[in-house]
Amino acid sequence: MSKQGPDVYEQGRGMDAHNKVMREIRAKKQRTYDPHEPTRVWLDEDNTPDGVYQSLTIILNTGGCRWARAGGCTMCGYVSESVEGGSVTHEQLMDQIQVCLDHEEERADETADLIKIYTSGSFLDEREVSAKSRKAIAETFADRKRIVLESLPDFVKEDRVADFVDVGLNTDIAVGLETATDRVRRDCVNKYFDFEDFIAASEEADRAGAGIKAYLLFKPPFLSEPEAVEDMISSIERCAEYAHTVSMNPTNVQRYTMVNELFHNSGYRPPWLWSVAHILRETADVDAIVVSDPVGHGQERGAHNCGECDDRVQLAIKDFDLRQDPSVFDQVSCDCEETWELVMAHETSFNMPLTN
């Protein structure tokens, strides 16, 4: 039986029900974007196998994820922030890199040791970033200590990764695995590959001398809170065998997505921050760095509790990310924990969400 990849799904076969709905939702997009400007850029701190580094995070505007143009993931609205036409030139990409360097120079006292590059798709897909651009970007950041590159597993090839390893960069490939459970990835996230493909990508990266950072999605649509928690704990435990870092990303409600449609029809609630804290506590002893950075925390469209304790719990999560000490969660409490415990005890896929 032939292996199905993103090209097959672009031709209209595969997960047609989800893809048809996603294409209709994305067709509502009206805004256009400048190919000379990155989608986003910011400075932060990140925990790495070599310690905590100041980081420069870059989201390049490459014209969008190949899989998203076929329909794509149920929660991802990043393709809606891409330029029209599905591609950008080498010159345009390098202009975006310069904008990011200018941003860093204006706001940081010194250059960041860690560079993180995302494309809202796959940096290693040569339809998004050409070999010429990839090598030029590697040379641009050759003086830094570490680089993270995001890619779907299909495009993780030893020679592509080697462009960065060979200039002396400690290189990590960030794979949007979402979950170690193939059925959840397929039916809830609408992603086409299997856990075995993630393992194969980790082997390609290892041959090039690079590491793996696994990105997991906490609480995709169609899972109750307790189901999502259970799946995330088991996924982190399975990923730790192949990845030195596991990043748990709580689902946030983005425009032009199936999650957004469900949210506005009372069919989806973003996860509780108490659940994030619980998962980090339960997986603190795995053989990997486990981190989480809930986007839009405390807001209705992001991971949240009651509104009173959200900032305190988020601060504890950030503290845990840097120190990997689960005792930080003993320092935060709120009456709404009782509501969360009720949700964990009684919410099922047939009566969710129990709370807003």
* Residue ranges per structural domain of the chain: 6-346
- pLDDT for the residue numbered 355: 84
Question: CATH number of 6-346: 3.40.50.720, 1.10.10.10, 3.20.20.70, 3.40.50.800?
Answer: 3.20.20.70
- pLDDT for the residue numbered 8: 46
Backbone angles phi, psi at 192, to 5 degrees: -85, -15
Determine if the pTM surpasses 0.95: no
- pLDDT for the residue numbered 34: 85
Contact 132, 76 (CB under 8 A): no
- pLDDT for the residue numbered 111: 95
- β-pairing, 289-292 vs 40-48, is unpaired
- pLDDT for the residue numbered 350: 77
- pLDDT for the residue numbered 28: 62
Contact 124, 157 (CB under 8 A): yes
- pLDDT for the residue numbered 319: 97
Radius of gyration of the chain (CA): 20
Residue 84: both structure tokens together: 């029209």
Q: What is the mean pLDDT of each run of 10 residues along the chain (356 residues)?
A: 47 56 60 83 95 96 78 79 73 97 95 94 93 98 98 97 98 97 95 96 98 98 97 98 98 92 94 98 98 94 97 97 97 98 92 81
Q: Going along 137-244, which residue ranges are E strands?
A: 146-150, 170-178, 211-218
